[in-house]
Amino acid sequence: MTNWRAVAVGFVIMFIAGVLATGAPIVGHIGAGIIGGFAAGYLAGGGLASGAWHGLLAGSITGIVLSVLLALLAGLFGLVGGPLGGVLGFGGVLVGGIVLTVIFAIDSALAGAIGGVFN
């Protein structure tokens, strides 16, 4: 059974760290995923599988939310260059966001598995 409190805590940690990590795209987001995934797995407990599941959920949800927010922001700023600029800005960031979501999901699942063992 999913412990949504653990997923929510992991989400909040990853979201805040992910927003702060935008200046250092790859290293910062990997670190945010590891910290939030570990927190979700630790709070959920239950061993490797449970920790990995909760870390994966927290990382995936965070990646999706950050991707959509950043794509909307890029689309708004892109509208300054006309409608085509908004579409290209939104689409480009959304594609990059898919990569971000995968990064968050993988490393947070691994860290969640470790966190689930330590609890």
- Enumerate the domain spans of the chain: 4-114
pTM of the model as a whole: 0.84
Q: How many Å apart are CA 80 and CA 97, to the nearest integer?
A: 22
Q: Residue 11: is its pLDDT beyond 80? A: yes
pLDDT of amino acid 10: 95
Q: Find the Cα–Cα–Cα–Cα dihedral 45, 8, 103, 77, rounded to 10°.
A: -170
Which has more pLDDT, 26 or 2? 2
pLDDT of amino acid 76: 82
pLDDT of amino acid 44: 95
